[in-house]
Amino acid sequence: MKLVVQIPALNEAITIQEVIEKIPREIEGVDIVEVVVVDDGSSDKTSELAKAAGAHVVRHENPRGVGAAFRSGIEKSGSLGADIICTIDADMQFNPADIPKLVMPIASGKADFATASRFKDAELIPEMPAAKKWGNDFMARWISAFTKKRYYDVSCGFRAYSRNAYLRLVLTGEFTYTHETFLCLAYARVPMLEVPVKVRGVREHGKSRVANNLFRYGFRTASIILKTYRDYKPLRFFGYIATFLFILALCFLSFLIYWKITTGGLFPHKWAGFVSGFFAGSALVMVTIGIVAEMLDRMRVANDEVLFRIRRLEYMLNEKAEETGSDES
């Protein structure tokens, strides 16, 4: 059983070696532990220090975002033959000693995806600005409403994935990956588990590369969540829009009917009838788009399953080729 610990990093020269050195090398159910650092265009010595600490390094020439770094790390970790991938930040907000807490449920077969939860256990809630705490809770409740299951922390980047889980990921977000990943795996019905851990609520060095501007973070994250929900639940997504437009149509039509009853004529509010018709027509268009998108979603689901099986077969063939090569040597 091989575990690959994946660390996205941008200008983390101060802490990157400490994180790598504190990663446990002896974990129950795990035979091999390797480390992959994805340097997302750092201008300091993050890459050099990570290599000196024994990590495999993937480097982006220019910063592309945490989402892009995550995908590059998944690709590299997969090429190393990872049975389990654990992602942890490079700033020491998470304690590397907690890695076994996330890995053991995967290694024992209890789950295919385990995510650290900062808020599930009230006694472990970290000290952080009230705005960030509220934002995390809002995102968790929003995604819980989408998935019909209560989650307490969907924004934490400290997670573990089985091979079955990470091979199913089809991600597009460049800015971040945490929420898109959560929805992708939830809709794929991958067994998921939240593991309460104690983390540092505020960075000791530097600023967060993702949440350094709460308004920007909220807008871009909401955009990723909505796009993912649109792709996985298109009929519901467009159905909600259609319902809103139809309610607007009824409001304007009701006003026009009221005016007709009370005055005996439509003048000067005939415009309300045209506006009502516009919104009603728009609602019908949204329903039609939703139906077509739902049909396309069936094709997407089939394509995702084919992609998963191809990826799994590719890794199996690579492993067999390595074993054959080892036997011959």
Q: What is the pLDDT of residue 212?
A: 57
**Is residue 76 scored above 80 in pLDDT?**
yes
Mean pLDDT across 27-44? 95
Q: For residue 276, what pLDDT band results from cuts at 50, 70 and 90?
A: very high
pLDDT tens per residue across span 164-189: 999 999 888 778 899 999 999 999 99
Q: What is the pLDDT of residue 244?
A: 98
Q: What is the mean pLDDT of the chain?
A: 91
pLDDT tens per residue across span 111-126: 999 999 999 998 988 8
**Is residue 103 scored above 90 in pLDDT?**
yes
Q: For residue 263, what pLDDT band results from cuts at 50, 70 and 90?
A: very high
Q: What is the pLDDT of residue 102?
A: 97
Q: What is the pLDDT of residue 253?
A: 96
**Is residue 130 scored above 90 in pLDDT?**
no
Mean pLDDT across 300-305? 90
pLDDT tens per residue across span 147-167: 999 999 999 999 999 999 999
Q: What are the backbone dihedrals phi and psi of residue 147, each rounded to the nearest 5 degrees, phi first?
A: -95, -5
Q: For residue 129, what pLDDT band results from cuts at 50, 70 and 90?
A: confident
d(CA 7, CA 35): 8
Residue 63 neighbours by CB distance under 10 Å: 16
- Name which of 139-143, 243-247, 318-322 the model is least confident about: 318-322
Above pLDDT 90, what percent of the chain? 73
Q: What is the pLDDT of residue 175?
A: 80
Q: For residue 208, what pLDDT band results from cuts at 50, 70 and 90?
A: low
- Amino acid, res. 22: K
**Is residue 269 scored above 90 in pLDDT?**
yes
Q: What is the pLDDT of residue 174?
A: 79
In terms of phi and psi (left: phi > 0; alpha: psi -120 to 50; beta: otherwise), the region of 168 is alpha
Beta bridge partners of 196: 117
**3-state SS string over the chain?**
CEEEEEEEECCCCCCHHHHHHCCCCCCCCCCEEEEEEEEECCCCCHHHHHHHCCCEEEEECCCCCHHHHHHHHHHHHHHCCCCEEEECCCCCCCCHHHHHHHHHHHHCCCCCEEEEECCCCHHHCCCCCHHHHHHHHHHHHHHHHHHCCCCCCCCCCCEEEEHHHHCCCCCCCCCCCHHHHHHHHHHCCCCEEEEECCCCCCCCCCCCCCCCCHHHHHHHHHHHHHHHHHHHCHHHHHHHHHHHHHHHHHHHHHHHHHHHHHHCCCCCCHHHHHHHHHHHHHHHHHHHHHHHHHHHHHHHHHHHHHHHHHHHHHHHHHHHHHHHHHHHC
- Name which of 165-179, 231-245, 249-263 the model is least confident about: 165-179
167: its two tokens: 């091979």
Question: Tokens 């995702």 identify what position?
Answer: 304
Q: What is the pLDDT of residue 221?
A: 86
Above pLDDT 70, what percent of the chain? 94
pLDDT tens per residue across span 2-15: 999 999 999 999 99
Q: What is the pLDDT of residue 70?
A: 95
